[in-house]
Amino acid sequence: MSKLHFESVFLRVTCWFPCISVLFFILLSQGVNASQSIHTVDLSNLKAQQRIVLNGQVQYLVDEQGLNLESVMQANDDQWQANTERRSNFGISANPYWFRLALGNVDQAGSPFFLRVDYPHTDKLDVYIVNDGVLIHSYQLGDTVPYAYRPVDNRIYLLPLDELALANIELYIRAESQGPMELPIDVLTHAEFYHQDKLELIWYGAYFGTMLVMFFYNLFIYILVRDVTYFYYLFYVASTMALQFTLTGASFQYVYPESTNLNNTLVLMLTALMPFSAVSFVRSFLKLESTGMRRDRIITRSFLGAFAILFVSSLFAPYMIVLKATHALSFLAVSAGFYLGLSGWRRGVKAARTFAMAWLVYLVFVVVFLLNTKGIVQPSVISEHALEIGSALELILLSLSFGHRINEEKEMRIQAQEQALHAQSSLNKNLDLLVQQRTEELEEANRQLKDLSIRDGLTGVFNRRHFDELFQIEYQRSFREKNWLCVVMLDIDHFKGLNDTYGHQFGDVCLKTIADVALNKLRRPPDLLARYGGEEFVVLLPNTDLEGGRTVAEKIRHAIESITLDNDGQAVTLTASMGVACVIPNDRDGFAGLLKLADQSLYQAKESGRNCVVCSVS
């Protein structure tokens, strides 16, 4: 079987699982509700039995007329209905219920005992004890009556009937509640009650202990990671614990025993607050606002708005209306949580598998709780603790979902880090190549820039500034090494006339041509040519005596003399005058004198008729 087919089958099974579970639970509950005739309950064997369930022996009457005790005692037998199905939950009713029951041999029970009504949320519970048609004693109980009125300090209702010291009594019980009409009633010895109460407290201790562990464990994680999803989870756990603490009757017993109007209001508020926090958690856990479909976002926003309205309505709206609306919306919200978990699973969110399973489990127990509330199924260990069992299992599974989510995000972070490292490595490699390329380009640009800064823009030979720097260096070297240093000053003859006659563009051509010719006559690497200014050039010849300088100058002069330029069909010849000066320096700073001597020689060449070389030795 392929993985895809398996997941499809699994999803179909999980979708039908709540319905199958509920149907099985209903059939099971109906199977144990065997009918039994009504008769006086004999308590003479209570010590041996320890506990006698009375629901199958009570008769009940729906009070639609506001009856009092006297009217009820005078009612015909046919007005009373036998509880042959042993029902303890009569659903939600706007009318009070009357119950009656006879107990025989009360004084022969053999052990102290309680009459117990094991449901703490009845608004008004009036118990009348009658003997031979005469009212002997009465109790006014319920969560709308101060807690101090209870004869026994306990979260449920306990009546010490053995203290009456009567043989036979009749009980008339009037129950009124805006919520479910439940009357799980029995008689049990003190020993049996304390044994059961101990087990009950162990169960509640385990439940609330588990919830507190989940709360503080995830609180610690929230403090470390500051993920808002953990905050919503903590909000959900806290509201769930508060609701369960209230439903057990412990809130009325320990927190507000004198606030008779607070219990129903608090139940409604917490019943709305718990699913509100659950929807907020689902919305954040599955990241619906950023990655979810628009339909899913609309669903969660609608639920949040509806539960917020119900929360506010619990302060002033009728209890029964708000309770029914909250129960209906809670069922839909839990179903939506299961659906959104499946949707996330299909989108490839691994943590959504456990998430969907958590809401499926809770959905089953919510259905059982609602059926018990409506009186469709009768109370049992499972139905009475359905919300506690379901919420504990759900929150444990949700915590596991957190673990899966953390692992998934860890894998994604590791994968992202590996990709980032690979990208960084590639980037570094490319960056090294780019840096090397840019460095070479920059060096080339700097070289070109430096070359431009030391060369004449027109002729391409060195400029005067660079010549001055090199001339000073070569002069000092010649001083240290006691070698000859020769300077040749060159000036183009009649250059101003050329510019005036043929134009400045032709003059520029002449300058470039002479520079090329002169540079071509320099053979040694140390020799250099520079444009000194205007039509003047200077040649620096290190380690060259006067005769060598004369030879170089004559070669340059003859080369210039042989130049013929064409200007619009007219042949133009060029000549140049040169002054040569040589010296073996006897001080470090005499380079200006050598240059002046070469300039004087140039002047003499011009005075001698131009196109000649004049030499001088310092």
Catalytic residue set: 535
Specify the amino acid at residue 207: Y
Burial 419-437 (b: 16+ CB within 10 A, else e): eeeeeeeeeeeeeeeeeee
Q: What number of other Cβ atoms are within 10 A of residue 89's Cβ?
A: 23
Answer for the pair 333, 303: CB distance below 8 angstroms, yes or no: yes
Of the candidates 314, 218, 222, the one whose C-alpha atom is nearest the C-alpha of residue 275 is: 314
What is the C-alpha to C-alpha distance for residues 576 and 488, in angstroms, rounded to an integer?
A: 12
| The amino acid at 560 | I
- Sign of the CA dihedral with 352 first, then 358, 363, and 364 last: positive
Torsion angles phi and psi, residue 85, rounded to 5: -90, 5
- What b-and-e string marks burial along 151-172, b requiring 16 or more CB atoms within 10 Å of the CB? eeebbbbbbebbeeebeebbbb
Non-local (6+) Cβ contacts of 605 within 8 A are: 577, 578, 579, 612, 613, 614
Nearest to 616 by CA among 600, 608, 606: 600
Are the CB atoms for 242 and 216 separated by under 8 Å?
no
Dig out the tokens for 506 from the structure: 């032709």
Q: Are 287 and 349 in contact (CB under 8 A)?
A: no
